[in-house]
Amino acid sequence: MKHLQTLQYVDTIARVGSIRKAAETLFITSTALNRRVLALEEELGVPIFERLPRGVRLSAAGEILIHHARMQMADMERVQSQIADLSGVRRGHISIVCGQALLAYFMVDHVARYRQQHPGVTFSVSVCNRADAISALSNYDADLAIVFEPVRTPDFHPIGSVPQAIQAIMSAEHELTKKSELTWSDILSAKLILPTRANGVRHLLEEALAKKGGELNTVIESDSFDFIRNYIVSENCISFQIPIGLPKKSDKSSFITRAIGINAIPHGHVFVGQMNGRALPVAASLFANELIKSLENLDPRSNN
Amino acid sequence: MKHLQTLQYVDTIARVGSIRKAAETLFITSTALNRRVLALEEELGVPIFERLPRGVRLSAAGEILIHHARMQMADMERVQSQIADLSGVRRGHISIVCGQALLAYFMVDHVARYRQQHPGVTFSVSVCNRADAISALSNYDADLAIVFEPVRTPDFHPIGSVPQAIQAIMSAEHELTKKSELTWSDILSAKLILPTRANGVRHLLEEALAKKGGELNTVIESDSFDFIRNYIVSENCISFQIPIGLPKKSDKSSFITRAIGINAIPHGHVFVGQMNGRALPVAASLFANELIKSLENLDPRSNN
DNA sequence: CGTAGCGATGCAATAAATGCATCGCTACGT
DNA sequence: ACGTAGCGATGCATTTATTGCATCGCTACG
């Protein structure tokens, strides 16, 4: 949209921190971009950016403006999507951030299903931790966030959730496979490979630790579930994952899952959420509804 | 603001219903304005206006757009006011709609007092009935509405209120001045001059009538309280008003007020409200706070 | 102490918006 | 029934705004 171009420019400058660099990514000359900034500052009567030797940084006024600008741009997208919806076509773009566990199977399924019904809708799906997911919503970088045990902030507005019990995963040779359900002392006694602290599963585990005491025998920490999954067949240790993040029964070849007693580690929840107070574009809103409906029908014990 | 000019233009066209007429009020040629519309429609891919033989009317897409446009413009005003507030100066414009009763003394006082503290803030104060007040909020024509017994809609967000007992007013010669408090049968027996049905006082009176029965002896109906106030000295009839709408004790020369039994007519409430979900400019927000503080300190019986 | 990277600015080139005159259309009044 | 007034659309010339180039002054970095 033409009339938002300047705001778009300002947004880019704020993100990259320099007018010249921003000009490159926007495919215009730095002169033109600089002049836009100066004109806007003239209009507002105050500088939007502080000039630093190596670039620019938002001033206090700029912070206020940029928040408005991002809101305006997101709202215009919503307007365009609503207008497009009037003419029957469902078009638009949905930007999603979600935790690693949710991305691999759950999001793949749902995005594919939605795209089958609405080929005009494009997606961007990014993986990130719980804290970054919320800030992506606040910056209007993402329309929806799907996370396990989200950070509680006023900016995050949950619109659907499903409880998820943490499960232990291990190789078929591990001695704990003999038990059908693991206790807290089983966990304490085992060698563990855990996701990093930004992860929701890890968070729940740390909470249980604080409450129940003991010491975790954490031999490896990794932010890649792929690494974890492949590693447990190489060394005799166990890790944890939520059911929604595990492949379906049929292809579960390389490792074994075991339930964990509800007394050992409490259930967590997967949340679908958006930024508080924001009106989503038509496509994103519909997609969110379908996600939630799917979550509601999801029995946590059905895909163990 | 430059980048909102086209939206401002579209808003004006939508209001006056014709590109040429709008062009006159905007002091530009119809050509330029027409071209803006065409360019915007080109961008959106759909017509914003339906072309009629005598002008234009918003299309369905236009309705969506205009709502967005008004929101954007109001929000930009808020941003500007917040930015101005950063440099210490309190500037801006506050647009208020309120009922006739509230305008004459209450609003005069408060606007004057606020302007004394903040000379940089300008006001527009319009009188209108309760229903129009709410729609003015919805259209972003007004920042605040102060009304007696407002219409209940989701768009109206009350942010403060004070109970107000309806009082009877009459000339000093009226026989009901002998009583210190009027009953329902006193009211039924008297000749009445009433405000029109759009008025909140009248609304409360009609409610009481529906509940208690009887027949009002309405000899004159007028939407002007000036007319009513002057008329009651000419013919021997009574009317009604809320305390907040009456002059202070000292200058109350031409007519007499009498309380009405709480059993006869229940108390109503004066509300200060804004549009639901909208962020007000700094000045408007502060003014609203002062209004509310003043309402809270207002004892309904103190200025009888 | 030179150099590289930054934002600001004068001046010319380019692109965009505007204004005028005019077209075709429809409803309204006579 | 028909002229007319009012409307939006459009081609063309003009004015205005935007952009690009070259260059300045500045500061941190090596």
Interface of B with A in 53-92 (CB under 8 A): 60-61, 64-65, 68, 71-72, 75-76, 78-80, 82-84, 86-87
- Out of A72, A80, A83, the one facing B72 most closely (by C-beta) is A72
Closest CA to B262 of B170, B166, B179, B195: B166
Examine the pLDDT at A146 and tell me if it is beyond 90: yes
Which residues in chain B have Cβ-Cβ distances shorter than 8 Å to A47?
A: none
Judging contacts by C-beta atoms under 8 Å, the chain A residues touching residue B83 are 44-46, 61, 64-65
**Residue in A4, A75, A83 nearest the CB of B46:** A83
- According to the model, what pLDDT value does residue B287 have? 94
Instruction: Round the average pLDDT of chain A to a whole number and report it.
Output: 89
Are B143 and B284 in contact by the 8 Å Cβ rule? The answer is yes
Burial pattern B61-96, b for ≥16 Cβ within 10 A else e, equals bbebbbebbbbbbbbbbbbbbbbbbeeeebbbebbb
- Cα–Cα distance, A44 to A6 (Å, whole number): 13
User: In terms of Cα–Cα distance, which of A287, A265, A256 is closest to A274?
Assistant: A287
Mean pLDDT by groups of 10 residues along chain B of 304 residues: 90 93 92 93 92 90 94 93 85 90 88 91 90 91 92 90 92 90 92 90 91 89 85 89 82 80 90 91 92 78 40
**Gyration radius (Cα) of chain A, Å:** 23
CA distance A148 to A162: 9
Mean pLDDT of A192-220: 90
CA B46, chain centre distance (Å): 36
Which domains, from first to last, does chain B contain?
2-72 (1.10.10.10), 90-163+269-296 (3.40.190.10), 166-266 (3.40.190.290)
Q: Which amino acid is at A55?
A: G
- pLDDT at position A303 over 80: no
Tell me which residue of B260, B103, B267, B96 sits closest to B190, measured CA to CA.
B260
Do B280 and B239 meet the contact criterion of CB atoms below 8 Å apart? no
Chain B residues 22-41 with Cβ under 7 Å of strand C are 28-29, 31-32, 35-36, 39
Give the closest nucleotide to B2 (alpha carbon vs C1'): D17
Percent of chain B at pLDDT > 70 equals 96
Angstrom distance (rounded) from CA B120 to CA B143: 17
Cβ proximity of A160 and A294 under 8 Å? no
Strands B144-148, B92-98: pairing is: parallel
Mutate to test the interface with A, among B4, B79, B85, B157 (most CBs of A within 10 A): B79
pLDDT of residue B86: 87
Q: Which residue of B has its CA nearest to A276?
A: B277
- Please name the amino acid found at residue A45: G
- Per-residue pLDDT tens over the stretch A213-237: 888 999 888 888 888 888 888 888 9
State residue B262's pLDDT score: 87
Q: What confidence tens digit (pLDDT) does each residue in A75-107 have?
A: 999 999 999 888 777 888 999 999 888 888 889
Instruction: Give A300→chain B minimum CA distance, Å.
Output: 37
The pLDDT assigned to B168 comes to 94
CB B140: neighbour CB atoms within 10 A?
20
How many angstroms away from the CA of B281 is the closest CA of chain A? Answer: 13
Q: Using DSSP, state whether A24 is helix, strand or coil.
A: helix
At B21 the three-state DSSP class reads helix
Cβ of residue A59 lies below 7 Å from strand C: no
Query: pLDDT at position B252, please?
Result: 56
| Nearest 10 degrees: Cα torsion A68, A74, A76, A81 | -170
Q: What distance in Å separates the CA atoms of residue B303 and residue B294, rounded to the nearest whole number?
A: 14
What are the respective helix, strand and coil percentages of chain B, to the nearest 5?
45, 20, 30
With a pLDDT cut of 90, the percent of chain A lying above it is: 56
If we measure between CA atoms, which residue out of B197, B6, B87, B65 comes closest to residue A5? Answer: B6
Contact B194, B205 (CB under 8 A): yes
- Distance CA(B147)–CA(B245), nearest Å, equals 11
Q: Which amino acid is at A119?
A: P
| pLDDT above 60 (res A250) | no
Q: Is the pLDDT of residue A158 over 80?
A: yes
pLDDT at A185: 92
Indicate the angle between helix axes B60-86 and A60-86, nearest 10 degrees: 180
Half-sphere exposure of residue A122: CA atoms within 13 angstroms, side-chain side: 3
* B174 sits in which H/E element: none
